[in-house]
Structure formats: C-alpha cells, structure tokens
Chains A and B, each alone.
Chain A
Amino acid sequence: MRYPIAFLFTCLSISLFAQKTEQIKLKDLQHIITTPSDHIQVFNFWATWCAPCVKEIPLFEKLNQENKAVDITLVSMDFDLDPNPDKVNRFVARKNLQSKVVILAESDPNSWIDKIDKNWSGALPATLVINTKTGKRKLVQKELHEGDLEKLIEEVTN
C-alpha cells in the first residue's frame, strides 16, 4: 500500500511542480528593457504575498491572449523575502499562467531599484510599459484596473 501512495505523490509532484520559473539576474532584465523590439514591452513587478498584485494579474493574462504585438513579463519579486522559488512555481501552476513569468534573483534591492526605473520606489505592484524603439516609457506604482493597461500601451505607442 505504501508504494501506490508514493507513486501517486510522485505523479502529483510532477504535474504540480513541472513548471519551473526561470530565475534571471538584473542584467537579463536590463537586456530585455533596452533591446529594440517591434513589440511594446510590459513588465509587471509582483509577488505571491502581494494581494493587489495577485488581483491585477488576470488583466495581464487577458492582454497576453488578446494582443500579440505586446510582450508581457511578469517579474516576481518574491526573492527578497523568500529566495526559495517553490511558492512562485506553485502559484504559476495553480493559476495556470500563460504569460512569461520570471523571478528576479537579486539581493540588496537598494542597489538596483533605480537601474530598473529611477522613479520607482520599490513598492509593489508596479508596472512598466516601454516602447523600446523610441525609449518612451510609463511607470505605474499602484494596482491597475480594467482598461488601464490598454491606455498605457497607447501612450507609449504614439
């Protein structure tokens, strides 16, 4: 009886934890931010513990489905409080997230928050929308609501 349970647990583990979220460094993020692309780049800085972040994630998932001319990167900032990626992996699996999710695995945020955007306080949630071709960018440091993302994209496009 012990073996079937072990087998079941293994199957469950594989299905739940198969998706490993990519861990990136600041330079990787800066690379995406600065590389010219035909697509508008949308970065959402979030964490599993941040209730307003979790609430607004469906807006990014919807945009990811509807607008293929936009690249969305959901950047998990969980590392600062908990370097173990399990919680993020479980969250991504549970919510079945289709957008690109990465974990920014860097410590000492004070040394690099300005390098992402000097106007950013470090507060979550935060969303950065960039037209990498023109350098136009918009940073929003609060929870987004229906229609906000589309407006931001329009603002950097024109």
Chain B
Amino acid sequence: MKRVLLMVMCVVMFVAANPVKNGYEVGDVATDFKLKNVDGKMVSLADFKDAKGYVLIFDCNTCPYSKAYNQRIIDLNEKYSTKGFPVITINANEGSGDSYSEMVRIANKKKYKFPYLYDESQETAKAYGATNTPHVFVLTKDLKVSYIGAIDDSPSNAAGVTKRYVEDAVDALLKGASVPVTKTKAIGCGIKWKRA
C-alpha cells in the first residue's frame, strides 16, 4: 500500500513539474482533429484534399467580438476558399448560448459555406492554445502554424481597418513569401472553459 502511494505521489509530482505546453507557437506543426460539423458530419483538416492551407478560427455564437467579425469571417471564406485557403471555424465554448443546436441555428441563418465545428471536449482549443473568440490560426498545407491572432486591427468597425493581419498572412503564403506579422493580440471574449 505504501509503495502504491509513493508511486502515485511520484506521478503527481512529475505531472505537476511538467506543465502542459500552452498551445502552439508560430512555426510549430499543429495536429489535425476530427470534430462534428453543424451538418452532423465529422470534419478533419485532411478532408480538404485540394487545400494549400487553412484559416482556422476559434469562434462562438455569443461573444460581441464574434458578432462584430461574423461578416468578415464569411467574407474571408468567400475570398480565400477558392484560392485554396478555406475557413474552418470551431466553437469550444461551454454554456447554453453556445450549444450545438444554437450553432446549427446560426450557421443556417448566416448560410455558412464553411464548417462550424463543435469542440465539446475543448481538447482542440487547448491543444492549439486558443484563448479568445475569434482567435485565428493560419496553417499551411503541412499544418505549420504561420499566424496566430486577430483578424484585423479594428473590431468595432470594419471600415476602420488599417491592418488586415489574416489577409496579409494568407496573401504572403500564396505568393511563397514570409508572413509579415506572425502574431497579434486582441481584447476579446475568453473561451468559456469547463470548470476543472
């Protein structure tokens, strides 16, 4: 019994001494996922055979920043899916307003032409290190993280944008150039994590 206890303590100490890495940094290679889309089908990045990369956006139904950016996310997909960078959105939020059925309702109402995936376990959001909504990860075909951050520099007003971070990143990748700004931060709604 004592030995078991000692072993348990060792494991606990090992885990405590090795905190899980806090998501991806630019340059890391991300892992694919398999999550349920609003149409009921499971979706992975690998499903997009012709993609040259991905605009992965952690988003939600309820956040005022997500609402402010909703049309800009739809526009990003319009502009870049045909160029080989489809938009893929993921909702990891806990709470009734962010339920799967609400996701389905919003995706239908807004006529989403891109996946809106339900990260119920929050494992994907944690693996990527997503913190806000919307929080963008631009990935190359081989899942190299090339940009992390905000869509642009003017959440309140699309007309006031001076820096289009995501567009600049994707445009650079399409040209085979280096991404000009690889990381930005923004005020936003924290992802609503399950209480540990």
Interface, chain A (partner B; CB < 8 A) = 47, 49-52, 77, 80-83, 108-110, 113-114, 120-126, 141-143, 145
Contact = CB atoms under 8 A, between A and B. Distances in A.
Contact of B187 (A83, A113, A141, A143): A113
B64 A81 contact: yes
Given A81-B65, A110-B185, A114-B185, A123 B155 contact: no
Contacts of B193: 142
Interface in B172-196: 184-193, 195
A109 B149 CA distance: 12
16 contacts: A50-B189, A80-B187, A81-B155, A81-B156, A82-B156, A108-B153, A110-B185, A113-B185, A113-B186, A113-B187, A122-B131, A122-B186, A123-B187, A124-B188, A143-B190, A145-B195
Contact of B190 (A82, A108, A124, A145): A124
Contacts of B68: 81
Contact of A109 (B186, B190, B192): B186
A123 B193 CA distance: 12
Interface in B137-196: 149-150, 153, 155-156, 184-193, 195
Contacts of A47: 187
Interface of B: 62, 64-65, 68, 131-132, 149-150, 153, 155-156, 184-193, 195
A125 B187 contact: no
Nearest to B165: A110
A120 B192 CA distance: 16
Contacts of B188: 122-124
A122 B185 contact: yes
B155 A121 contact: no
A124 B131 contact: no
Nearest to B191: A123
Contacts of B62: 51
A80 B188 CA distance: 9
Contacts of B190: 52, 121, 123-126, 141-143
B150 A123 contact: no
Contacts of A114: 185
A151 B65 CA distance: 31
Contact of A123 (B64, B189, B195): B189
B131 A110 contact: no
A108 B153 CA distance: 6
Given A81-B64, A110-B185, A126-B190, A121 B156 contact: no
A66 to B, nearest CB: 24
A123 B132 contact: yes
